[in-house]
Amino acid sequence: MTLRLGILGFSEGNGHPFSFGAIVNGYDDAAFARVGWDGIHAYLRARKADEFGVGDVRVTRCWMPDLKMAQALALACQIDAVCETPEEMIGAVDAVMILRDDADSHWLLAEPFLKAGLPVFIDKPLCVRRDELDLFEPYLRSGQLMSTSGLRYAGETDGWRQAPEQFGELRLIRASVPVDWPRYGVHMLECAMGALGVRPVAVQRHAVAHGSVAVRLEDHSLLLIDALGATPTPFSLQVFGTIGNAEVKIRDNFTAFRRTIINFVDLVRTGKPMIDPEDTLLVIRTLISGVEAEPGGAEVLVRP
């Protein structure tokens, strides 16, 4: 039996509805060329036909605040129907993916679906406020809600995930991302925790022109994340340990997103969290601590 997904978007600068929709459904090349996401179109065209699709899963409904954009998404990603309101999806789909990274919208969009008992995926970051995290927490723990950056599953870090001992004791992890700490710092928190199992305990913001946050880790090593704003910055990660070091630049969004979708589908089918809820809570608490920290100020403990 086909699993029916609904997609909700869109936020400025985030093309995830188009990426995720195409990965699940395939795409119409001519229609996709018209939507303006040339970078996404390029990496989709570089994949083989048999890399698209996630078993017997289809995106069958979509919604965006801009009806014309939703219609363009439906044509590009071969989605059956456009909804005029998000709530129209209730009863028509088996699960929803909220694919926008403006965190302030997430609870309002997710609440009707969560209360209706539908499994929900929420794009990074889940939220940047403690009161909202309190609202989401029961659904994370019950296995009804999943939220992560796709970089938790980045293919470029598979070798680290499989053999973290190659580094010995960790000393320093350095990461760079574009944009800002609230929206993009989460990428590297997820990536480092997913690949290396690190556990943040405190953060400190640097008094510099960009978003630079030092994250003290449980093993007394340091994760330094620099969010460099509107610059051509790669998603990069360097690891330094007592016996080895390595660097990756993460470019394969397709693999990261496809693995994310597969894990969400597994949650929908099993009702079990695919990411330990404590990990997701720790990621978001760390992110919030970085938002709360004063530039050049004292270290802020990561706390519930």
Taking 90 as the threshold, does the pLDDT of residue 304 lie above it? no
pLDDT at 41 over 90: yes
How far from 28 is each of 8, 44, 55, 224, CA to CA, in Å? 20, 11, 19, 41
Q: Do 260 and 123 share a structural domain?
A: yes
For 284, residues 6+ apart whose C-beta sits below 8 A from its C-beta are 125, 126, 127, 128, 133, 147, 186
pLDDT digits (tens, 9 = 90+) for 45-89: 999 999 999 999 999 999 999 999 999 999 999 999 999 999 999
Instruction: Report, as an integer, the average pLDDT of 226-232.
Output: 94
Statement to judge: residues 127 and 271 lie in one domain: yes
Predicted local confidence at residue 286, as pLDDT = 98
Domain span at residue 186 reads 154-251+285-301
Q: How many domains does the chain have?
A: 2
- 196: domain CATH number is 3.30.360.10
Beta bridge partners of 7: 62, 97
The model's pLDDT over 5-25, given as tens digits with 9 standing for 90+, comes to 999 999 998 999 999 999 999
Per-residue pLDDT of 238-291, as tens digits, reads 999 999 999 999 999 999 999 999 999 999 999 999 999 999 999 999 999 999
Average pLDDT over residues 217-242: 96
Report the pLDDT value the prediction gives residue 166, as an integer from 0 to 100: 96
Q: For the chain, what is the radius of gyration of the CA atoms?
A: 19
User: What pLDDT does residue 1 have?
Assistant: 86
Residues 140 and 159 in one domain: no
- Is the domain of 125 the same as that of 163? no
- pLDDT tens digit sequence for 114-138: 999 999 999 999 999 999 999 999 9
Same domain, 238 and 292: yes
Is residue 267 domain-shared with residue 128, that is, in the same domain? yes
Please indicate, yes or no, whether residues 97 and 165 belong to a single structural domain of this protein. Answer: no
Reference 157, options 247, 227, 224, 254; nearest CA is 247
Q: What is the pLDDT of residues 147-166, one digit of tens each?
A: 999 999 999 999 999 999 99
pLDDT at 124: 96
Per-residue confidence (pLDDT) for residue 96, from 0 to 100: 98
Are residues 26 and 97 part of one domain? yes
Is residue 30 scored above 90 in pLDDT? yes
Listing DSSP states for the chain in one string gives -PEEEEEE--BTTB-HHHHHHHHHH---HHHHHTSS-HHHHHHHHTS-GGGS--SSEEEEEEE-SSHHHHHHHHHHTT-SEE-SSGGGGBTTBSEEEE----GGGHHHHHHHHHHTT--EEEESPS-S-HHHHHHHHHHHHHTSEEEE-GGGG-GGGHHHHH-GGGG-SEEEEEEEESB-IIIIIHHHHHHHHHHH---EEEEEE--SSSEEEEEEETTS-EEEEEE-BSS---EEEEEEESS-EEEEEE--HHHHHHHHHHHHHHHHHH-S-SS-HHHHHHHHHHHHHHHHSPTT---EE---
Mean pLDDT of 28-47: 97
Q: Residue 207 CB: number of other CB atoms within 10 A?
A: 9
220, 260: one domain: no
Task: Report the CATH number at residue 28.
Answer: 3.40.50.720
Are 189 and 205 in a shared domain?
A: yes
168-197 pLDDT per residue, tens: 999 999 999 999 999 999 999 999 999 999
Specify the pLDDT at position 272.
Answer: 97
- pTM score above 0.95: yes
Residues 177 and 269 in one domain: no
52 and 185, same structural domain? no
For residues 105 and 161, give the distance between their C-alpha atoms in angstroms, rounded to a whole number. 33
